[in-house]
Structure 1
């Protein structure tokens, strides 16, 4: 029997989107590991927002936003100025709580997860 509760279709859509996002973040982390990055955190939540992936390579702390879109430009455009501000604030808080990493330089990347294609990595995207 079909669920006729108001908003039940919307709830299901949100759950599927959350699941797809979760899978995309783990695939992006695996992709970055193959490129030589050390993954420090996935889906790190702070009071200022969530950081999809925190990684390290050499003397860089890299904060990665993962976007699943049909095209790479759509993924880049999906990281709005307000999202960038939130990610920067959350990364500052993460670094403040990690004294061993406080002296590392910071970089903000985007990984675009594209259907049927390898992920695309955009270092220093914002």
Structure 2
């Protein structure tokens, strides 16, 4: 059997909530989206520090199941939506990520600043315009 089995709505919600708990922050620090297949890295490597991306991607049993997970995480936990997904795709894969951007203060100490991916993408688009 070569077909990849998907995960149930409850299994995916449990794993996503585990990431929120493990890596901290508010739901608004995270971004979620549904897609046709696993990410190729383009969604995650839009920064100077792609290694700093914390992410999880899981196949759901169906596109409807993925949409139920998406709806729950956006409405209940206030996750941001991928900018190009004002309307959710029919994909059955759920992607959630949070990017960590490294900066330095005047003493040279390393700080970790949590930024929403959406803000970075909007700023990049504005600079290119």
Q: Whose helix proportion is higher, 1 or 2?
A: 1
- The higher relative CO (CA closer than 8 Å, separation ≥ 6) is in 2
TM-score category, normalised to shorter length: under 0.3
Task: Normalising by structure 2, report the TM-score.
Answer: 0.26
